[in-house]
Amino acid sequence: MARSKTAFVCQSCGAVHSKWLGRCTACGEWNTITEEIVKSEQKVPAWGGPASGTGVKSLAMPIAEVMHKSEHRLPTGDAELDRVLGGGLVPGSLVLVGGEPGIGKSTLMLQLALHLPGVRVLYVSGEESPHQIRMRAERLRSVGEGCYILSETSVSAIFDEIRRVQPQLVIVDSIQTVYMEGLESAPGSVSQIRECAAEFMRYAKSEDVPVLLIGHITKEGLLAGPKVLEHMVDVVLNFEGDRHHFFRILRAQKNRFGSTSEIGIYEMTSAGLGAVSNPSDVLLSAERQSLSGNAVCMTLEGVRPLAVEVQALVSSAVYGTPQRSATGFDVRRLNMLLAVLEKRCGFRLGQKDVFLNIAGGIRVDDPALDAAVVASILSSNGDVALSPEVCLAAEVGLSGEVRPVSRIDTRIAEAERLGFKEVVVSRFCKIQEKLHRIRIVQVGRVDELYQKLF
């Protein structure tokens, strides 16, 4: 009997090594190399047609002679999901949806499968039985007639049902649970994930049927499996949020058919995930009271303006070493802003604890948040409350200057719509003041910001 050939494969990047190593020499990750059995015979594709590397060769042609096809999208019925995708699902696209366990990936995909009128959807689950999925559908208060449920992990069996049902949309939950019989490695390994995703990609491109794959993430917050998986798919969506908060954010990390700067905001309810069309109203407190340490920033996610509340707490360091903690904000940028306040403005914050929180459980990376962070820290340090009718939108530089941010007119218009009376921006912004009735305060340095606010 022939001896099975083995190889040592990194589960993070897919690199193959001749022997076991504690650290992968390709990606630098520790304890990710496992031994897998490699079969030498040619793999037969699960979907019909020749395997990759065989068949009729394509001929090169000038780009002007390539037939142009108008892009037809399939609306999902979910305004937030359509916003992130760029208008809907493109036929033949392969979409990867990742997120933490329990964040709502399966709920979002099941809602999509149940709420598509006139579309035949095949929902493949390798983690739940049909009875469990039916119970979850009843909790969502919807049982779609065009939704077919399949509890299967074998790729060949899944494609047999695809040939029988002829769906217009396929959802696989999850790519880590399905496997191909021709491979000896376990489900979830690098080779299984890569080959299974390649089969679904071959099916999607040949039949012009969109396929959505749900993927797990690692403890570092990255999509599990080889990095080549993210290169194979057309769209990579990341579903994020704190399980202890009601809000979830859907971001596009990669999108071949649209922008990656859009986000979708959902609210977790007893009836599933509900789209939040006006997030500023829910991210701000219902009654903005005059409390020290609170400031409101007009941030921007894609082309959508959001009003977020920044909360800061400054107190004397009890144990000698001051603490720096931030939730929803980069701690390194917080340390930079504290250094600017101490060096350029003379505020002695080196021996004080500073805690920062972005209300609502969301994470914001917009530089326009700098001014609100500085204002909230100074408000808490002096125990002086900011006016609840003031919001800020400006970046702070290392020399203490207040720098302009993009799309300032959109931010000011949103602040005016929410009922704010005053907005603080950089004096270097080019503002069309005739378009706004709100009072615009322009500052050039952090010390001017302090004088205007306090």
Q: Do domains 73-277 and 283-453 have the same CATH topology?
A: no
Mean pLDDT taken over the chain: 85
pLDDT at residue 295 in the model = 94
Q: Per the annotation, does 290 bind a ligand? A: no
Please, which pLDDT band fits residue 285 given cuts at 50, 70 and 90? Answer: low
Q: Per the annotation, does 105 bind a ligand? A: yes
- Identify which of 214, 261, 219, 263 has the alpha carbon closest to the alpha carbon of residue 104: 214
Q: Per the annotation, does 102 bind a ligand? A: yes
Note whether 85 and 255 are within 8 A (CB): yes
Q: Per the annotation, does 280 bind a ligand? A: no
pLDDT at residue 6 in the model = 77
Residue 444 has pLDDT above 70, yes or no: yes
Per CATH, which fold does 73-277 belong to? Rossmann fold (3.40.50)
In one letter, which amino acid is 133? I
Are β-strands 33-38 and 16-17 bridged in parallel, bridged antiparallel, or unpaired? unpaired
- Identify which of 232, 241, 239, 195 has the alpha carbon closest to the alpha carbon of residue 217: 239
Q: How many residues does the chain have?
A: 454
Q: Higher pLDDT residue, 321 or 330?
A: 330
Please, which pLDDT band fits residue 346 given cuts at 50, 70 and 90? Answer: confident
Q: Per the annotation, does 101 bind a ligand? A: yes
Give the distance, in angstroms, between the CA of residue 144 and the centroid of all CA atoms in the same chain. Answer: 27
d(CA 77, CA 56): 39
Tokens 């999208």: give the residue: 73
Please, which pLDDT band fits residue 243 given cuts at 50, 70 and 90? Answer: low
d(CA 330, CA 198): 37
Note whether 395 and 336 are within 8 A (CB): no
Q: Higher pLDDT residue, 386 or 224?
A: 386
Question: Looking at residues 427-438, what average pLDDT do you find?
Answer: 84
Q: Higher pLDDT residue, 289 or 323?
A: 323
Domain locations along the chain: 5-38, 73-277, 283-453
Q: Higher pLDDT residue, 282 or 340?
A: 340
For domain 283-453, the CATH architecture is 2-Layer Sandwich (3.30)
| Residues near 376 by beta carbon (within 8 Å), at least 6 away in sequence | 293, 294, 295, 310, 311, 312, 356, 386
pLDDT at residue 41 in the model = 46
Q: Per the annotation, does 215 bind a ligand? A: no
Q: Per the annotation, does 33 bind a ligand? A: no
Taking only the tens place, the pLDDT of each residue in 358-369 is 987 778 889 999
Please, which pLDDT band fits residue 235 given cuts at 50, 70 and 90? Answer: very high
Taking only the tens place, the pLDDT of each residue in 7-38 is 888 877 778 888 888 998 888 888 888 887 66
pLDDT at residue 51 in the model = 46
Taking only the tens place, the pLDDT of each residue in 371-413 is 999 999 999 999 999 988 999 999 999 999 999 999 899 999 9
